[in-house]
A and B are shown apart, each in its own frame.
Chain A
């Protein structure tokens, strides 16, 4: 692991932008101690950005909602951007998302505010290094674990590009416009039955799937809050484990879909579970966006809703 103060290659944060954090595949294996998984909110875009620069899929990268500027220092870097659609510039010249881009030492990559979607991933060949906490460099909003803070002036050490795989040739991977620049906010979010589906009658379950739901501004990395028709509330249960994608019905109304930093247990009934690909899509929904659910049955093929891997 490179030391944060070492003389190797680094990204220096010129402008931290909005909601910018370091995220990898998350802190798996500690949920039984109350530690959220964290990790990238939109896992497929995070994976894609890493693959474009030849990293392991779970390497640490930047997650941002835009307004970010970073400068290469201590050597040239190779970067790739995926996720929400935003303007990208290297020293003022426009560059494409969805492909590996060279960042010469001293040059600045600027990431604009998203035009579509809300979360942008900036991966660097070699990955962001530095301190890991419980096996992960991911920032966790719920528990306040922030191994690698992203603030103006911060110097983010970059690891060595993958051993055995040469650093990717810049531009060798063609732009994947449809996937990288415009993550689809899926027409329908695939909703599987949840542990407390049976607490809700058929009419209520139908209502959940037949109504549009609006993403509210209170949404964050802990959960996406949705406003929609009134759903009969239930008393809180004893604490139950939660999964990413769990759809809670809180007594205050609306629905909450658990995102990356969700608590490990909760007391509100979970009516359904949104599957992995649909959570990725929901993680790109902006406040005011409308989403719909479609129920799946246990007998459905589990991959039916997954888009093809890029």
Chain B
């Protein structure tokens, strides 16, 4: 496959690239994480929806850009890690979300069908953001795509399983939020005291939601 690439300016201490494939940023991050040259020069390697950012000291611009170009070229020729090779996380969900009935009504399906569609898909962690451990999951059934709520809630409970646009996510902690709430998980998505792996969901991982009784 071939990916259209655009380099975006981002100041003296960062290098950013835009890719026309929403799966590419997480794949590129994995490639860069394995690159010794990048590990020596990069401060952070941050994927997002269609872009990837590497922050670095001003003097490392050339080295980082060269390594990124190598990794981007690899997107086109090397076999991507097979989807089935990425670690799979199963997230147990009680489908008791406040917005479940409204979502069902807006997409013209029954609640049971919405649950079956949400739990029937396999997701990939595209990137994280918004809050520590908040992972944007791609792979949502196209029939469930809805814009964010017109009025965000001031407080969404921790563990809320939600959807908006083409994404699903789990709110790792209580926070404001504008996504549609389908259910709740008891899985702790974020624990800063797990110093080697504070987040359950990391870019590139596969995710399934497994319905469980209340």
Residues of A within 8 A of B (CB): 28-35, 37, 133-135, 142-145, 192-197, 238-241, 243, 245-246, 263-266, 270, 273-276, 298, 302-303
Q: Are A239 and B12 in contact (CB under 8 A)?
A: no
Interface SS of chain A: loop
Residue B45 CB within 8 A of the other chain:
yes
- With A133-B192, A241-B48 in contact, is A265–B11 under 8 Å at CB? no
- With A32-B128, A239-B127, A239-B136 in contact, is A265–B10 under 8 Å at CB? no
- With A134-B198, A303-B58 in contact, is A245–B131 under 8 Å at CB? no
Residues of B within 8 A of A (CB): 8-14, 16, 18, 29, 43-53, 55, 58, 127-136, 173, 192-193, 195, 198-199, 202-203
Q: Are A33 and B132 in contact (CB under 8 A)?
A: yes
Q: Which residues of A contact B131 (CB under 8 A)?
A: 34, 142-143
Of the listed residues B44, B135, B173, the one surrounded by the most CB atoms of chain A closer than 10 A to its CB is: B44
Extra inter-chain contacts (7) besides given A32-B44, A240-B51, CB under 8 Å: A29-B44, A30-B198, A31-B46, A32-B202, A143-B132, A240-B48, A246-B10
- Select from chain A the residue with minimum beta-carbon distance to B173: A144
Q: Are B10 and A34 in contact (CB under 8 A)?
A: no
Give Cα A185 to B58, complex, Å. 23
Q: Which residues of B contact A195 (CB under 8 A)?
A: 8-10, 16, 18, 51
Could you say which of A193, A245, A274 contacts B9, with CB atoms under 8 Å apart? A193
Give Cα A135 to B43, complex, Å. 13
- Select from chain B the residue with minimum beta-carbon distance to A26: B43
Q: Which residues of B contact A264 (CB under 8 A)?
A: 46, 128-129
Q: Are A33 and B198 in contact (CB under 8 A)?
A: yes
Q: Which residues of A contact B55 (CB under 8 A)?
A: 31, 243
Q: Are B45 and A32 in contact (CB under 8 A)?
A: yes
Give Cα A287 to B44, complex, Å. 31
Could you say which of A33, A270, A303 contacts B133, with CB atoms under 8 Å apart? A33
Q: Are B128 and A276 in contact (CB under 8 A)?
A: no
Q: Which residues of B contact A33 (CB under 8 A)?
A: 128, 132-133, 198-199, 202
Q: Are A238 and B199 in contact (CB under 8 A)?
A: no
